[in-house]
Amino acid sequence: MIISKRSAAALCGLVATLAVGLFPPAASADEPSGKPAPKVDLVLDVSGSMRARDIDGQSRMAAAKQAFNEVLDAVPQEVELGIRTLGANYPGKDKKVGCEDTAQLYPVGPLDRTEAKTAVATLAPTGWTPIGPALLGAAKDLEGGDATRRIVLITDGEDTCAPLDPCEVAREIAAKGIHLVIDTLGLVPDAKTRRQLTCIAEATGGTYTSVQHTDELSGRVTQLVDRAADPVVTPVATEGAARCAGAPELKAGLYSDREKFSEHRWYRVNVSPGQELRASVSVAADRAVDRDYGVLLRAVTVHGREIVRGSEAGDGRTDVISTGLRYPRPEADDDAASAAEVVCVQVSNSFSAPDSVKTTPGLPVELTIQIVDSPDEPSDVAAFGLGRGWWLLGVLVLTGLVAGLLWGWVSRWRVAVWRTN
C-alpha cells in the first residue's frame, strides 16, 4: 500500500509535534546553572587479588590504571573529583591493621589531571579488601555543602573485613539523608561479589555493573562521572514527625525521608484560597518484605478532619508502591478566610518483613509537593520520585496509540481513493 508524500509528511509532522510537546528540549548546556560543583569520589580496590591477569591479557590493576587515565582525561570541568584507595598500603596478615587500610590518594576538589594520573601510576596490588571502611571514608571525603555527591566503587572481590558489612554501611549512609549515591563496578566478579555490590548500590539508589574488559570499565566510570555533572531532580532531605503539631513545613518540591515499617509520618503544607495542593508519595521496598503491603497519603486539617486521601495496596514482590492526592481549596468569601490554611499531610505504610530481615534503617520515601494557583494547570503528581518510570511508559504508550490511529485513518483513506479510481 502506498501513501502520498503529503499524507506521510503530515503524519510525521503530527507525531513530531506530539513528541516535542511531551518531551520539551533540555536547557542549553551553556546556560549558567548557579549550582554548586558536583563531587565524585572514585574508590579503587588495590588489594592483592588485583594482580590476577584476566582482563584483556593484563592484570586487573593495569586495566584499572589504563581506565583511570582515560576517565581523568574526560572529567567535565565543573566536577570536583577525588580518588580513595582500599588495600593499597598494608601487605601483612594482621586483619585489624589490614581492615583500616584505606586512604585518600587525591583529595576531592578541582582536578589537576597530571597530578591525579601520577598518583594512580604509583599504585601496586598490596593488601586486604576493606570496602566498608572505604565507603565510610569516601562519605567523609564528600562532606559539606549542597552539591550532588557520588561514590564510584571499583573492586574485584567482596569485603574481607566482616563483621562490618558494607551493605549495612551503605544503608546507614542512605539513612543520613545526604543524597549520596554509590555506584559499584565488579571486575570479573563471582556470584558473592555481585550480590554484595548490588546490595550496596541498591541501598543508595545507585547502579551495579559487571566489567570484563578495560574499555567497559573506562566507559562506565566516565558515564557515571558525567551523570554527576548533569543529575536528575535531587530530593531535599526532611524528617516527618509523629504528629502534625511538630511536623516540618514543606514548600513545593521533591523531598526524601525514611519511614519505619508500619509507621505514620506527618508534614505541614500552607495552602492559600484558590490554590490546589497536589501531593504524591512513593515508598521503596529496598529489602525483602512480606507479601501484603500498602501506602496511604492523607490531607487533614489541624483539627483532625480528613480532607482527602489516596491509597494503594499490593500482594507479592514489589520494588516501589505509589499514590497521590489533590486538594483544591475554594476561594475565600471574606478577609477572615483569606489566610493560608495549614494542611497536615500524613504518609503511612503497612509494610512488614520476615524475622530474618533487618528493619533499620527505614524504607526510602519520596514525597512530591505541588502548590498551583489554578486547578486547571496540568498535574505533575506522581511524575517525579521513585515512580517516574511509569509516567514515561504511559507517555510512550499514548504516543504510539495516537500514531497508530492516524496511520490507520490514512491507510483507509488511501484504499477508498484507490477503489474509486
Confidence of residue 417 (pLDDT cuts 50, 70, 90): low
pLDDT tens across 291-301, in order?
899 999 999 99
pLDDT tens-digit map of 264-323:
999 999 999 989 999 989 898 888 889 899 999 999 999 999 999 999 888 877 777 888
Instruction: Assess whether pLDDT exceeds 50 at residue 28.
Output: no
Residue 34, pLDDT > 60, answer yes
pLDDT of 171 strictly over 70: yes
What pLDDT is recorded for position 411? 62
**pLDDT band, residue 381 (cuts 50/70/90):** very low
pLDDT at 319: 73
Better-predicted residue by pLDDT, 410 or 244: 244
Query: In the structure grid, which three cell numbers stand for residue 420, read together?
Result: 474509486
The whole-model pTM stands at 0.53
pLDDT score at 176? 80
Name the pLDDT band for 48 (thresholds 50, 70, 90). very high
Domains and CATH numbers, the chain: 39-229 (3.40.50.410), 236-393 (2.60.120.380)
Q: What is the pLDDT of residue 19?
A: 41
